[in-house]
């Protein structure tokens, strides 16, 4: 009789637990990525970035003036580098060309009369559609960080600056040598 009472108590307890397991919300998670033939992986935080250049006064951009440089990074991870074998890489940025500077990105949105310049850490312009000078990767660093800068540059033609919001997508491609 004691076994029967214990069995019934267990069944009742399980039933109460099962009743509490009812759906209380659900969702879906989709995992994206790709497998690449390269000595380094690109960190997930570098694949889809948003870089805020701030709210720049038209006075700062007049006559070809520029905003302050804002750094952004391409983080690599899990690098397996062998000296002399794919230990250098170049980066090529692509996107909509500016009507004011063929090597800079054009603005999308309400703002006009300016371009987005991409720069190296030495503030040398990275030309849109052209590979950067090769960057040497060290076999001792498994998670290198590539740093670039972006800034807004105004047109040199008076009267072309139009205040407004902008958004500028750009893509990058890594090429190992």
Indicate whether 134 belongs to any domain: yes
pTM reported for the whole predicted model: 0.82
Q: Where are the alpha helices (DSSP H) in the chain?
A: 2-20, 44-47, 58-61
Indicate whether 36 belongs to any domain: no
CATH label of the domain that carries residue 144? 2.60.40.1090
Strand-pair category, 125-126 with 114-119: antiparallel
Indicate the burial class of 48 (C-beta count within 10 angstroms; 0-12, 13-18, 19 or more).
exposed
Q: Are 20 and 14 in contact (CB under 8 A)?
A: no
- The SS3 call for residue 16 is helix
Q: Domain span at residue 117?
A: 41-176
**CA of residue 169 relative to chain centroid, distance:** 10
Indicate whether 28 belongs to any domain: no
Indicate whether 11 belongs to any domain: no
Task: Quickly count: other Cβ atoms within 10 Å of residue 61's Cβ.
Answer: 22
d(CA 83, CA 110) in angstroms, rounded, equals 48
Indicate whether 32 belongs to any domain: no
pLDDT in tens, 2-51: 556 555 555 555 555 555 667 788 888 877 888 999 999 999 999 999 99
Indicate whether 7 belongs to any domain: no
Indicate whether 34 belongs to any domain: no
pLDDT of 150 > 80? The answer is yes
pLDDT in tens, 52-91: 999 999 999 999 999 999 999 999 999 999 988 899 999 9
d(CA 16, CA 58) in angstroms, rounded, equals 67
pLDDT in tens, 81-139: 998 889 999 999 999 999 999 999 999 999 999 999 999 999 999 999 999 999 999 99
Indicate whether 165 belongs to any domain: yes
When divided into structural domains, the chain yields a total of 1
């Amino acid at each position: 009789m004691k076994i029967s009472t214990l069995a019934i108590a267990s069944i009742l307890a399980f039933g109460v637990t099962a009743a509490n397991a009812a759906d209380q919300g659900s969702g879906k998670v989709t995992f994206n990525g790709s497998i690449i033939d390269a000595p380094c992986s690109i960190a997930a935080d570098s694949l889809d970035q948003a870089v805020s250049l701030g709210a720049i006064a038209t006075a700062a951009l007049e006559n070809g003036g520029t905003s302050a440089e804002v750094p952004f990074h391409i983080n690599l991870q899990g690098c397996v580098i062998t000296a002399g074998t794919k230990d250098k890489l170049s980066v090529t940025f692509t996107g909509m060309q500016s009507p004011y500077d063929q090597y800079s990105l054009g603005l999308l949105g309400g703002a006009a009369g300016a371009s987005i310049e991409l720069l190296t850490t030495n503030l040398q312009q990275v030309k849109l559609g052209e590979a950067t000078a090769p960057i040497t990767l060290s076999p001792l660093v498994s998670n290198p960080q590539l740093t670039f800068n972006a800034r807004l540059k105004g047109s040199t033609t008076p009267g072309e600056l139009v205040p407004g919001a902008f958004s500028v997508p750009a893509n990058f491609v890594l090429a190992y040598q």
